[in-house]
Structure 1
């Protein structure tokens, strides 16, 4: 497994929901980042974004989230027109967390732990302490200054505000408003993991589910509930799970979600 490090990449853009949606409307299969930048600049769809800023969004945000792995952008582009606003946010959140290890770790180790412990909010100092701990544990390739630590701490919280996981309460606190993973996104994620080559138990135990606060037991129950809609047949005996998958490819999955 490739070792992952915390980076400052969130400084290039947080949730970027509307910008991402706009870029997907323009992106076509085969486009690289430069071509997408050129099309976006010529389109007039981003009148309040400078050319430099738009290039930064495409190269530092859109590319690592959706173009680094083959097939992702095409799937998301086909999915977006049929999703609700909240479901769209969950898809963007999933790929942003995958591309930003620091965000994924914060959600798993701090956000959901706070929620499970009965807290109603997260303090900005919680985020700062998390980043500082990461520095102590060697999760950055090089040391970060206090200013960088403070900025990245705020970016993490800001990103979760953008995706509807937090609400600004006051200057120092963000209220927890954890969304439940939608049925459509659960089906999409399960099949995406399945078609990536994972076995049934590996799908159930994949860390991506933790981004939505689900442990393996939760995932099993979620998939059992969704089996009623004939997305799959699931049999579980103890920790061993066997799934008979109903769809042959992601195109079929997206058609069913629609």
Structure 2
């Protein structure tokens, strides 16, 4: 497995929910990065965004999050009209965390740990300490300055505010507001992992579920509960899980969600 490093890529854009929805309206299969930039600039859909900023959003945010695999953008574009605002946030959050290792690690190792320990808030200092620890542990390809550490630690909190995981309580505090993983997003994620070639037990143990605060045991129970709606049939004996999947491809899954 390729070693992952913390980057400053979040500085190009945090949640960007409205901008991302706008870009999905314009994006078409086969578009190269420059094609999407040109289309967005010509569309008039982003009147309050400078050309330079729009190029940054496309190249540094939209492309790494949704165009690593073209299928991803196709699936998300097809899914968006059927989702509530909360569900859209969860889908965007999933792909943003996948594209930004530092965000995924912060959520798993700080956010959910704070929640599990009964804390109601995360402090700005908690985020800064996490980034500093990453520096000590060699998680960056090269050392970061104190200014960069401070900026990136604020981006982590800002991104989670954008995706409804935090609320601003004060300048130094963010209130924990963990959303429950929605049924539609859970079904989408389970099938996306399935069609990526993972076995049933690997799906249950996949780290993406941790982004929503779910342990493998939680995932088993979640999938059992969703089996009532005939998304799949699941059998579990101890730690061994066997799933009979109801749909043959992601297009069928999206049709059912819609």
Q: TM-score range by the shorter chain?
A: over 0.9
Residue 70 of structure 2: SS of its match in structure 1?
A: coil
Residue 236 of structure 1: SS of its match in structure 2?
A: strand
Alignment of structure 1 residues 133-144 onto 2, 5 Å = 133-144=133-144
Partner in structure 2 of residue 69 of structure 1 = 69
2:129 counterpart of 1:129: yes
Displacement of 1:2 after TM fit? 1.0
Distance in 2, Cα, partners of 1:44 & 1:214: 41
Structure-1-length-normalised TM-score? 1.00
Distance in 2, Cα, partners of 1:235 & 1:70: 33
Distance in 2, Cα, partners of 1:33 & 1:172: 38
Partner in structure 2 of residue 222 of structure 1 = 222
Residue 97 of structure 1: SS of its match in structure 2?
A: helix
Structure-2-length-normalised TM-score? 1.00
Residue 140 of structure 2: SS of its match in structure 1?
A: coil
Displacement of 1:70 after TM fit? 3.0
Give RMSD over aligned pairs: 0.4
Partner in structure 1 of residue 182 of structure 2 = 182
Provide Cα deviations, 1:132-175, integer angstroms capped at 9, x if missing partner.
00000000000000000000000000000000000000000000
Q: Which runs of 5+ in 1 are unaligned?
A: none
Distance in 1, Cα, partners of 2:32 & 2:106: 31
Provide Cα deviations, 1:225-258, integer angstroms capped at 9, x if missing partner.
0000000000000000000000000000000001
Provide Cα deviations, 1:37-92, integer angstroms capped at 9, x if missing partner.
10001000000000000000000000000001231000000000000000000000
Q: Give the paired residue count.
A: 258
Distance in 2, Cα, partners of 1:122 & 1:150: 15
Distance in 1, Cα, partners of 2:154 & 2:69: 28
Distance in 1, Cα, partners of 2:111 & 2:245: 32
Distance in 1, Cα, partners of 2:70 & 2:131: 31
Displacement of 1:200 after TM fit? 0.1
Alignment of structure 1 residues 91-106 onto 2, 5 Å = 91-106=91-106
CA contact (8 A) 2:29 2:70 kept: no
Distance in 1, Cα, partners of 2:32 & 2:203: 31
Distance in 1, Cα, partners of 2:175 & 2:153: 16
